[in-house]
Amino acid sequence: MLRIVTDSASDITLEEARAQNVDLVYMSIHFEDGVHPQISREDYDSFYDRLQKAKKLPKTSQPPPESFLNIYKDARKKGDEVLVLTLSSGLSGTYQSALIAKDMSGYDKIRVVDTQVAISAQRLLVDHAVKMRDEGRGLDEIAEKIKGLSERVKICGVVDTLTYLEKGGRIPPGLALIGNTLRIKPLMGMKDGKIKALGKAIGRRGGLKFLFEFLKKYVPDTSFPLYFSYSSNEEMGTQLIRAVLSKLNLDGVQTGLFQAGGVIGTHVGPNCVAICYVSE
């Protein structure tokens, strides 16, 4: 049997993981008054309520090697193979924790892949790995396929406010105040495994225009689904799906809409939307 393991930055809930026979390893989210769980959609919703009331951003902690090691030991006992798909190593030490645990286990039927992405993009790769596993593909074939796909995955998101980037020390307070007053919407994506600013726009309409141009520049491979993420407002995510499919004549393409949890939500805040897909 092939066991697929991922971390909670994929925004896969425990219920969803069990349905797909995927093992989840959790990153911790620490507010000043305690740790916030990230197990269910209800936890995601309450996270954003808590985030908006917090004076300081919560801190995220990578899972310790022991979290992976326990899975590896169980797999070795049962003779299972293990494929681990982690959050980008440019954002967290989770990938290193998985590798350290592999060395500790002394078990060679483990492959650890740095997806170089997060949120629904990571989920997209996990879902494809599950599909290949269920088709009977082998460990090494799936690992190599996912590595290749990860290089083609694109993420583009519209951030609603500069407040959380300012709280995280990424921009100075004065700039955040001016930017919010002028309704500047940062456009964020990932490059070389790290979150990068792709540009900025005035207002949400300007942000959507940038996103459409991004999709035209990096054309989606429609043999794969387009995944959409929202942080706190599901209706915004639904509207984005409709706009993208209509504007780019992509009706009939498989889509998914998923809420972003606290790992990335800490930095982008509420009312953020994003699109994640495999490019041609």
User: Is the pLDDT score of 130 beyond 90?
Assistant: yes
pLDDT of residue 196: 85
User: Is the pLDDT score of 260 beyond 50?
Assistant: yes
Q: Determine how β-strand 153-158 pairs with β-strand 184-191.
A: antiparallel
Amino acid making up residue 144: E
The average pLDDT across 202-208 equals 89
pLDDT of residue 170: 57
Find the range with the poorest average confidence among 77-91, 165-179, 258-272: 165-179
pLDDT of residue 18: 98
Q: Determine how β-strand 194-202 pairs with β-strand 184-191.
A: antiparallel
The average pLDDT across 231-257 equals 94
The average pLDDT across 202-210 equals 90
pLDDT of residue 181: 61
Per CATH, which fold does 153-278 belong to?
A: Hypothetical Protein Tm841; Chain: A;domain 3 (3.30.1180)
Q: What is the pLDDT of residues 111-128, one digit of tens each?
A: 999 999 999 999 999 999
Q: Residue ranges per domain, the chain?
A: 2-27+62-150, 153-278
Q: What pLDDT band is residue 173 in, cutting at 50, 70 and 90?
A: low
Q: What is the pLDDT of residues 19-47, one digit of tens each?
A: 999 999 999 999 999 999 999 999 999 99
Kindly give, in sequence order, each residue whose CB lies less than 8 Å from that of residue 5, ignoring residues fewer than 6 positions away.
Answer: 22, 23, 24, 25, 68, 71, 82, 83, 84, 85, 98
User: Is the pLDDT score of 186 beyond 90?
Assistant: no
User: Which tokens hold the place of 169?
Assistant: 């020390």
Q: What pLDDT band is residue 199 in, cutting at 50, 70 and 90?
A: confident
Give the class (CATH, top level) of 2-27+62-150: alpha beta
CA torsion, ordered 77, 78, 83, 85, to nearest 10 deg: -70
Q: What pLDDT band is residue 179 in, cutting at 50, 70 and 90?
A: low
Least Cα distance to 153 among 278, 255, 256, 274 occurs for 278
Report the predicted TM-score, pTM, of the whole model to 2 decimal places.
Answer: 0.94
Q: What is the mean pLDDT of the chain?
A: 92
Q: How far apart are the first and last CA of the chain?
A: 32
User: Is the pLDDT score of 174 beyond 60?
Assistant: no
pLDDT of residue 185: 85
pLDDT of residue 180: 63
User: Is the pLDDT score of 267 beyond 70?
Assistant: yes
Cα–Cα dist 206/154, whole Å:
20
Kindly give, in sequence order, each residue whose CB lies less than 8 Å from that of residue 244, ignoring residues fewer than 6 positions away.
Answer: 211, 212, 215, 226, 228, 250, 275
